[in-house]
Structure 1
Amino acid sequence: MAACEGNGNADQRIGEALIKEVIEEELREVPAAEEVPPLTPLTNQVQSEQEKKMVLELAKMIRIIGDNVKNNQPLEDAIDGIRRAPGSKWDLFQQVAAKVFEQGITWERIAVLFYVAGRLAVKLVEAHLPQSVREIMQWTVDFFRNNLLSWIREHGGWISSFSELAAASMRTVSGVQLYGVLLIFVAGLALGSLITLKLLPRQ
């Protein structure tokens, strides 16, 4: 139970390291991933082997959960086909991330949020926007700190997530219209990010 000590400080470190691990794991499959600026300065680092082990085990389960939606063609189409959208990128991110949890926070939905952030990072690198990966990382970390960390602490810390995430990784990801929520989430993120591309001067 060491991960729950220190008034939940370990839960913040583990959560931030987990976001980074999930994004970097997705980027390992992309040949151009070396172009991505370092993500390490954006998060707190784990402070023990136990915390590191927890991050790696949680990342494995998130990867399995995410693989259940990875080949959903509407999801891929939403990521690939977005062209433009109005509004602030950060505001849009908050709106669509809140949409994921509009019917409540669960460990499974937290896992999906982290995984989709990783998938979007891959798409941005493939679109030659590696600098935007840091934005995705920062937005996800900020949302985690402001909206999810208290819930995680109140529900026993990351150590309490293993049973639910293990069960979720053994079945098709479910939930209230999860695919629809994912489409909204990814579409919103991609829209906001590609606005940046349109605003950047041509080189």
Structure 2
Amino acid sequence: MACEGNGMSDERIGEALIKEVIQEELKDVPREDVPPLTPVTGKVKEEEEKVVNQLAKITRIIGDRVKDDAELKDAIDGFIGCPSSGSMSDRFKEVANKVLESGITWERIAVLFYVAGKLAHRMVEAHIPQSVRDILRCTVEFFRNNLLGWIRKHGGWINSFSDLAMASMQSVSSMSSQSSALALIFITGLAIGSFISWRLTRQS
């Protein structure tokens, strides 16, 4: 059962997650260089916000694992380096299709959102910060058109926790210096996810 059946919106959660991941990638950029990112949909509910916060942490862990991937770097560089080769939406679709070329999974969705954050950061570095809003718009548009149906079919964001947590734990094992902190994030996220799932089950 997807989140909507329990008063939570997979669409709101996804869009809020995209915005959160992009903002996280821009946290070290001077505030005056970043245009404000207004919510695409209505304000998330308190329980949805907890889901978003935990998913953002897990996405960051997974993103740290793939940040040195040569193919992803090439896709990001190609996006930034060819501003005249089609609309931004079309160029973003090319990057997204590269990320998802082996099929949609929870982990690949997290990687795509992470890549969107990296694209936004590179836009600021290239002195075209106004494009950050376009990156947000393109990512949300792709999410709605290509990922939301899959997410709902697979039980909603609540059901993503176990797969994403497993992927993040694989990252933990390869980063021993940070393993304690990341393991704590993993356990916290899994606990909150389980708690929310339990509450929603009780309410249904």
- Range class of TM-score, shorter chain: 0.7 to 0.9
Instruction: Choose which of 63, 68, 77 in structure 2 pairs with 1:66.
Output: 63
Partner in structure 2 of residue 53 of structure 1: 50
- TM-score scaled to structure 2, two decimals? 0.74
| Per-residue CA distance 1:132-172 (angstroms, 9 max, x = gap) | 00000000000000110011001000000000000111114
In the TM superposition, what is the alpha-carbon distance from 1:15 to its structure 2 partner?
0.3
Q: Is the 8 A contact 1:35 1:130 kept in 2?
A: yes
**AA paired with 1:166?**
A
Partner in structure 2 of residue 95 of structure 1: 94
- TM-score scaled to structure 1, two decimals? 0.74
Structure 2 stretches lacking a partner, 5+ long: 173-204
What do you get for the CA RMSD once the two structures are aligned? Answer: 2.6
Identify which of structures 1 and 2 has the higher relative contact order when contacts are C-alpha pairs closer than 8 Å and 6+ apart.
Answer: 1
Q: How does 1:1-203 map to 2 (within 5 A)?
A: 4-6=3-5, 10-30=9-29, 32-47=30-45, 49-72=46-69, 75-76=72-73, 79=76, 83-84=81-82, 86-172=85-171
**AA paired with 1:107?**
W
Cα distance in structure 1, aligned partners of 2:69 and 2:90: 26
Cα distance in structure 2, aligned partners of 1:165 and 1:37: 30
Structure 1 stretches lacking a partner, 5+ long: 174-203
In the TM superposition, what is the alpha-carbon distance from 1:100 to its structure 2 partner?
2.2
In the TM superposition, what is the alpha-carbon distance from 1:5 to its structure 2 partner?
3.1
Cα distance in structure 1, aligned partners of 2:19 and 2:5: 22
Cα distance in structure 2, aligned partners of 1:89 and 1:80: 14
